[in-house]
Amino acid sequence: MTDSTATALEPAIIARVLSESLPYIRQFHGKTIVIKYGGNAMTEERLQRSFAHDVVLLKLIGLNPVVVHGGGPQIDEALNRIGKKGEFIQGMRVTDNETMEVVEWVLGGQVQQDIVMMINEAGGKAVGLTGKDGGLIRARKKLMPNKEDPDKPLDIGFVGDITQVDPSVVKALQDDQFIPVISPIGFGEDGMAYNINADVVAGKMAEVLSAEKLLMMTNTPGVLDKDGNLLRELSARTIDAMFEDGTISGGMLPKIGSALDAARNGVRSVHVVDGRVPHCLLLEVLTDQGVGTMISSR
């Protein structure tokens, strides 16, 4: 293909894409979309810029994006600097007092502010929140099931289960055209901070905001079967079977579990999307081309 042919095709391609997006813009105008931001998209500069661009564009065309971010690699890097190694049980980070201090500093400080600035530089108006702001996320200590001794659950430190989400501050920011950026840190009745899995926070936030969509960004093409093939759609029954036979394990456990809970509790569509694909949010929300796995409650 010559350069002149490529140039002649470009306007037609652009026009087709814009035309394809119109019904989706109309359908989702004014609706809330919760985005779990993590993985490679948080650590590669080109993907960071792509993400910020997508979020700002979604806001400008009338959708209400809410970002819940992770930060596992950044936490691991900070722990390594103090000579500490991360430990995980059933996909959850074991969080002692020293680790919790690092988690608060990294998630509620460094990572969150980087995301806020990135969105603002792309033309948006982002505001960072933790669970403490406006009483957003209440939590209690999480105890993990012990397969070897069911009567003795595992204590993994300052890791929390969500007890209540008060979305008032998020809704107020949305009404003022801001983009909320939420760190997955909750606070207990005792005033203690708790590290909460970001997938769990995103799922619960989507539920309480009655979100139209929940998009969970990951480092894979989506949910894969045992042979590594992408599964375009998953039902509750299939997911339960995949939990049982170990196909879904490790860090995917809280992600898929939260996605399924959200689908069962009123979120209209839940997608696990490939965050390594530039502009994956626009592709998933505004085009016929999906970039991951859709999860349904059936």
Binding residue numbers for substrate: 71-72, 93, 195
Provide the token pair at 38.
């993590």
Q: Yes or no: say if 73 and 166 are a contact pair by the CB < 8 Å rule.
A: no
Q: Which residues are annotated as a binding site?
A: 71-72, 93, 195
Give the pairing of strands 269-274 and 292-295.
Answer: antiparallel
Provide the token pair at 66.
């809410």
Structure letter (DSSP) for residue 95: B
> What is the per-residue burial (b if ≥16 Cβ within 10 Å, else e) of 244-253?
eeebbeebbb
Q: Yes or no: say if 57 and 35 are a contact pair by the CB < 8 Å rule.
A: no
Q: For 123-267, where are the E strands, in sequence order?
A: 126-129, 137-144, 154-165, 179-182, 185-187, 193-195, 213-218, 223-224, 230-231, 233-234
Give the pairing of strands 154-165 and 179-182.
Answer: unpaired
